[in-house]
Each structure stands twice: as structure tokens, then as C-alpha cells.
């Protein structure tokens, strides 16, 4: 992801922007961070986009995982938020 196949600044932004989501959550390959970090130093537009993506990543990381319950086997345990709904689904007759 070094941007060498792209032409000009617009190409480098395109390459960087494709990776910003992964950059925000720390999911890039180790060798990909350097080129993206260098681009961010020089590109206020990509820095702004990264800041927005970082906010979304922070919000997503605060969510509780919800385990889906299989209606037929009862496998899994629902979170308290969906436990009542899972019970009401189990009580319905099959369609």
C-alpha cells in the first residue's frame, strides 16, 4: 500500500482512504502503517476522515456483544436486552 501504482496526490489519497478504517481499529498489516502514517502527516483531508472513523470505532468498541439464540435448539445465551424478545419468539407457533 505504498501508492506507487497511483498517480499524483489524488491516487495516494485514494490508496490511503481505502485503508483508513483498518488503520482506525489497528487492523492493518505492520508494514502498512508507515506509508499511511506518512500520508496522514501531509494530508489534512485524510486526517479529518481518520478522526471521524476513530469516533465510530470508539462507539462500536463500547457496544456489548449480543449472542443469538437458536430457536430450535436453545443454544446460546441472549443478552438481557434481547432475552425477552427471544422468549417471545420461542413461544410463537411455527409458521
In a domain, 38, yes or no: yes
- Spatial neighbors of 3 by CB under 8 A, at least 6 apart, are 11, 12, 15, 16, 35, 39
84 within domain boundaries: no
The answer, as to whether pTM is greater than 0.75, is: no
Q: Report if residue 81 sits inside a domain.
A: no
Number of domain units in the chain: 1
1: confidence class by pLDDT, cuts 50, 70, 90: very low
Q: Is 34 a member of any domain?
A: yes
Contacts (Cβ under 8 Å, ≥6 apart) of 86: 69, 71, 78
Q: What is the pLDDT of residues 4-49, one digit of tens each?
A: 444 455 667 988 999 999 999 999 999 999 999 999 999 999 999 9
Query: Which cell is 3 given?
Result: 501508492
Q: What is the mean pLDDT of the chain?
A: 77
Residue 66 maps to a domain: no
* Domain around 52: 8-61
Res. 59: pLDDT tops 50: yes
3-state secondary structure of 62: coil
CB atoms within 10 A of CB 39: 22
Amino acid at each position: 500500500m505504498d501508492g506507487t501504482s497511483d498517480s499524483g496526490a489524488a491516487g495516494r489519497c485514494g490508496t490511503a482512504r481505502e485503508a483508513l478504517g483498518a488503520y482506525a481499529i489497528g487492523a492493518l498489516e505492520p508494514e502498512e502503517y508507515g506509508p499511511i502514517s506518512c500520508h496522514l502527516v501531509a494530508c489534512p483531508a485524510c486526517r479529518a476522515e481518520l478522526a471521524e472513523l476513530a469516533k465510530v470505532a470508539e462507539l462500536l468498541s463500547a457496544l456489548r456483544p449480543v449472542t443469538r439464540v437458536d430457536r430450535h435448539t436453545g443454544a446460546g445465551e441472549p443478552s438481557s436486552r434481547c432475552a425477552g424478545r427471544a422468549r417471545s419468539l420461542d413461544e410463537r407457533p411455527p409458521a
